[in-house]
Structure 1
Amino acid sequence: MSKDGRRGVRLSLVTRWSALVGTLLALGMLVALGLDHLFPGHPVLVFVACLAAIVPIAIITIRSQIQPILSLFRALEGTVASYRDGDFSFSLHWPQNDELADLIAAHNALGQVLREQRLGLVQRELLLDTMVQNTPVAMLLVTDFASAGTQAGTIVYANLAARQLLSEGRKLEGHGLDAILDGAAPALKEALARGGDGLFTAGESEEEEVYHLARSSFTLNGRRHELLLLRHLTTELRRQEVQTWKKVIRVISHELNNSLAPLASLAHSGAELVRRGQTERLPQILQTIGERTRHLESFILGYARFAKLPAPRLAAVPWQVFVDRLADQVAFRLLGELPQEPVWIDAAQMEQALLNLLKNAHESDSRPDAVALQVRRMQEAVRIDVLDRGSGMSETVLTNALVPFYSTKRSGTGLGLALAREIAEAHGGRIMLSNRDGGGLAVTLILPAPPAAPGM
């Protein structure tokens, strides 16, 4: 029986053709015997008459058996061509229960698998296209993109956001990127000309819009392609700006209340003592008022310094002179030898940054003698480490410590580390925080190496 049990007894091609040939031979022998009985003594006549009777029957019979097979082969050729063209909707039928039936079953199974895979691929492509078309990020795929500094290239794909941003909803595919950018904001052209990722601002005053440009290149079918992503950040940045202002106002309000309430109380007490003629406590009250006023002034100056940090004025400063000036203001141990080459920094700004870091180290429950400063010259940079043996930082605090106004101290402003980061980045460097083995924190400033001396 066949595998599906519906085609009856299985007859292979060999069995069927053997039976057909045997039947034709037996028929030929019977005809020959009959003719020999009718025409005894005439073998040539019997042979010719036998051929004349059997050959047409054999040809007709064999053609009737081969014709369906040839039709099947032509159908297979057609379905294979359809598969090559991406059409998997065809299937075949073979009524016999033989090897060809197994071939057709395998062929149909392959077609079913290809149809299912094609359907899944189409559904995934539809999902991906829906996501890409509805994302707020403008996406442009450009082929034959030229080198940095030019925008030559042909747009091969653009989503709805890109069409709205660059062409008022019109189709962009097939157009040259340079022609499309002629009507775009000059800031976008400048951002593309600069190369790399980054932020840029389009518009002026109240209509100012902030965008982030990301780009990546790859080779497809031997041609260079560039994927450009434009993300509108204005709303997100304004929302973050509002949250930041709210936090700043809360911090300033809290600090002002903490200072003004005692000042008002002390002033009232002083006035009452003067009214009573009891002036012996006035110096103490005035001293306390002065201390609270200086604290408030220092607090306000800290915010002003962070908000109005000027561009650094770089100059060559000997390390020994710079470190000695720091040591006059805060205690620390110096680890290792100082580099011989001077450092190119804004001495006042870098001094303020390191003073903040060293004071933080002393406030970290570290032993005073465990607060250390180490300066090392690296291959293309200068590394400054401020080390302590305090309680260190949790992962959450490490993540947020450099964010302005973030502080874990009850009376902290959250500006010390943020100001140090601003100063380091203004010098072309960066700042990193990490917990030390054995306890404590390491704050690392990486600054660019000083320029080579003339003639070197």
Structure 2
Amino acid sequence: MALLTSPTSRLTWQLSSWLSLFVCAPVVAGVLLGLLSVLQALLLAVVLGALQAMFIQYVVTPRVKGLQAIESGLLNFKDGDFSTSLAYNKNDELGDLCRLYNETASKLHQERQWIYQRELMLDKVLHSSPQALLLVNDKQQVVYSNHSARSLLFADLRVEGEQLSVLFARMPNGLAQALQAGKEGLFSVEQQHEQRQTWHLATGHFLLNNQAHTLYILKPMTREISRQEVQVWKKVIRVISHELNNSLAPVSSMLHSGQLLAQGIEDTRLARVFTTIDERIGKLSEFVQGYGRFAKLPQPQMKHFSWHNMMQGLTQQWAFTLLGELPEQGYGDDTQLEQLLINLLKNAHESGSPEADISVEVNCSEAQQEILVRDRGKGMSEAVMASALVPFYSTKSTGSGLGLALCREICEAHHGDISLHNRHHGGLVVRVHLPLA
């Protein structure tokens, strides 16, 4: 310290200090500037991070949620689900897109419900149709069949997925041949325990899911042809009855006048002539009245009735054996059904059957009533059986040919059917099927 007391030493020390400060100042300044740059960088990073977080929170995240919602909705569309709506409702482009999606989904959902209701209605109509419907693809595989097709052709079994060639073995020959030929028109089918039936085949070809399909429509025509045939006979009968009545009335009047004029004449031959004419007029009037009842059969008055009361009334007119347990109630026009049974029992007695072998059986299920009338008479040949239900056809010399025709008319008026079958070891059985409702 003593050395610094000299002026020279102090000057030298001062010069050295200033020189050192001059030399170190840039270094210090650089250090200070470096510290300031780091702080600015850190501050800038913090600000940018905050801005980024705010951008993600308020801009990116809502849009990501909106895009996710649209993606989820489109996946629902892909799965066929139009019942889901999107909750994103911001006032931006994605919000507008989501609202458009919700409107589209709602409209598609309503249209699907409408189409579903139409499909249900169409399915009900097709299954209720009396026509048998078979839809077959280009591989000859059944893809659809209605109830009529299953009950009439396949004994109520589902046949979807079956090959049509395999099903031919289950069908009657006439039906299988008609389907194999694929030609539209009428054809006949021989059914076991049934009369020969007439059918009409119609076909349609179209594309379904870009695959060729064939629709077979089978319509039973037996009842329709019979109905038209009966209507023609009724018109003929009405014309004949009208003409006969117009002739019988003046003949009967003239007969009465002739009897009055011949009262003072005692001639047995003349009396015999008048008696014969009167008998023939009576027979002819009865004949015309019988045909008139057939031609003017009234609509049946459907109601519940007692089978026991009806059978008790029949036993007083005809002898027969009642088989099985008799149902308590029947349904239909009891007057017409009683006339049906009278005609069938009359035919059974006239067939030459012993009275002990004539029987009546009545069975009821949930859907129908079945009446069976059996005898051990001569039966019927195939030719006679084919025409037995036709009006005016009779193998009896004194028959009018209206008994079985009237029975058929009564059955069809009740929406039922009647069939005739020869029995083993001789005799005939008449089957009558009537609906319960």
- Structure 2 length-normalised TM: 0.47
Structure ID, larger Rg: 2
